[in-house]
Amino acid sequence: MRPSCELVVGFDADDTLWHNENIFEHTHERYRDLLARYHAAATVDRTLFATEMRNLELYGYGVKGFTLSAIETAIQLTEGRISAEEIRRLIELGREMLAHPVELLDGVEETLAHLAGRHRLLLITKGDLRDQQRKLAKSGLADRFRAVEILSEKDELSYAVVLRRHGVDPARFLMVGNSLKSDILPVLALGGAGAHVPYRLTWAAERAEAPRAQGRFYALESIRAVTGVVAALSAERA
């Protein structure tokens, strides 16, 4: 597909359009409570994160991989003494996370409504396929996007493949997301623009330093500010 000269806007999903990390935060609290008689909270957190990172290549991102890592960590930290009932409770925590209602972030509906009639919008997210599809369906936002890409990883190569598949020139692409590592830095490396809208929580694996050269990087306080960035970029080559 030949690249278009129109400005195309990509949006991340989790913690950009709807709440996600707060669900994990709440589950982490319950997980620490369950293991409190075995280890201090700091040890539980550190060991769980190490297990998640070790398993990431096999399990990928999302609740299911987290749940498997949580069970493995619990067995390790209790030296196998954790009971079947406690493991059942961990499985139930994962099930509750998967069934959690989708709660949109403030400003999302009106921002997408404003942009969808003027620009081609792409949803580009990563994680478990079924869970991301479920959340998108329940969000009520699916009809705002021309296409949806659910990736196993969001890096420079995966963005290049997605943009080529949709005929998008990186120079005419803006990615909006809460993660500098996954949503912004890879797109900037391709010559695109990035609008960072931080969420109040950031998973340790997604933390990164903001780019020193501002260039086409926009640090925003609210998703509502995206409309102004889009207008400015659209005017550049009008």
pLDDT tens-place string over residues 67-80: 999 999 999 999 99
Supply the CATH classification number for the domain 8-18+102-236.
Answer: 3.40.50.1000
pLDDT confidence band for 1 (50 / 70 / 90): very low
Domain residue spans of the chain = 8-18+102-236, 21-98
Instruction: Please give the Cα distance from 74 to 195 (Å, whole number).
Output: 38
Q: Let me know if domain 21-98 sits in CATH 3.30.500.10.
A: no
Instruction: Please give the Cα distance from 62 to 24 (Å, whole number).
Output: 10
Considering the entire predicted model, what is its pTM?
A: 0.93
Instruction: Please give the Cα distance from 32 to 186 (Å, whole number).
Output: 34
Any residues with CB less than 8 A from the CB of 80 and at least 6 apart, and which?
Answer: none
Write the pLDDT tens digit of every residue in 121-165: 999 999 999 999 999 999 999 999 999 999 999 999 999 999 999
With contact defined as beta carbons under 8 Å apart, do 39 and 64 qualify?
no
